[in-house]
Amino acid sequence: MPKDLKLYQILNVDATATDAEITAAYNRLIAEHPESDPRHEEIVHAYSVLSDVERRAKYDVTGKTTRIRRSRKTASGTKLEKVRFVLNTVFLACAAVTVVLFLLQFGGYSAKPFYWACGISMTIKVAEYILRLIP
The whole-angstrom separation of Cα 47 and Cα 23 is 8
Instruction: Tell me the CATH number of domain 7-62, given options 1.10.760.10, 3.40.50.720, 2.60.40.2300, 1.10.287.110.
Output: 1.10.287.110
Q: DSSP 3-state assignment of 109?
A: coil
Helix, strand, or coil (residue 65): coil
User: Hey, where are the domains in the chain?
Assistant: 7-62, 75-132
pLDDT at 68: 58
pTM: 0.47
Q: How does pLDDT run across 20-75, given as a tens digit for each residue? A: 999 999 999 999 988 888 888 889 888 988 888 888 888 888 887 766 555 555 55
